[in-house]
C-alpha cells in the first residue's frame, strides 16, 4: 500500500469506530452513471443531475465493517474515467 493510502486508512481509523455508516460522494460524467451504479449495486444511492445534464452528483451510504472496505470501493470507483471522488 502506498503512503497516501496508508495515510488515508489511518485517518479513517482515527475518525471512525467500525463498523459504522460511511457516506461516499462522487461527481461523474452522465455517460458513466450506469457503470458506477453497477459497482454500487445493493448500496443505497441518490443521484442529482447537474444543470446542464453532463454530470451527476452521487451520494452513497454503506454500513462499513472497516477502512479496508472504504478504500477498496474508492479504488474500484477510481477506474471510471472522469470520476471525481470527494
Grid cell listed for 70:
472504504
Question: At residue 1, does pLDDT exceed 70?
Answer: no
DSSP secondary structure letters along 17-73: -SSEEEEEEEEEEGGGHHHHHHHTTTSEEEEEE-TTSSEEEEEEEEEESSHHHHHHH
- Number of independent structural domains in the chain: 1
Q: What is the pTM of this model?
A: 0.87
Domain range for 10 is: 3-85
Q: CB count, 10 Å around CB of 11?
A: 11
pLDDT digits (tens, 9 = 90+) for 8-49: 999 999 999 999 999 999 999 999 999 999 999 999 899 999
Grid cell listed for 75:
479504488
**CATH code, domain carrying 17:** 3.30.70.260
Amino acid at each position: 500500500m502506498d503512503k497516501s493510502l496508508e495515510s488515508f486508512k489511518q485517518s479513517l481509523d482515527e475518525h471512525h469506530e467500525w463498523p459504522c455508516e460511511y457516506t461516499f460522494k462522487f461527481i461523474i460524467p452522465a455517460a458513466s452513471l450506469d457503470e458506477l451504479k453497477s459497482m454500487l449495486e445493493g448500496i443505497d444511492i441518490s443521484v442529482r443531475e447537474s444543470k446542464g445534464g453532463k454530470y451527476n452528483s452521487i451520494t452513497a451510504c454503506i454500513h462499513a465493517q472497516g477502512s479496508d472496505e472504504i478504500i477498496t470501493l474508492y479504488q474500484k470507483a477510481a477506474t471510471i474515467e472522469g470520476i471525481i471522488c470527494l
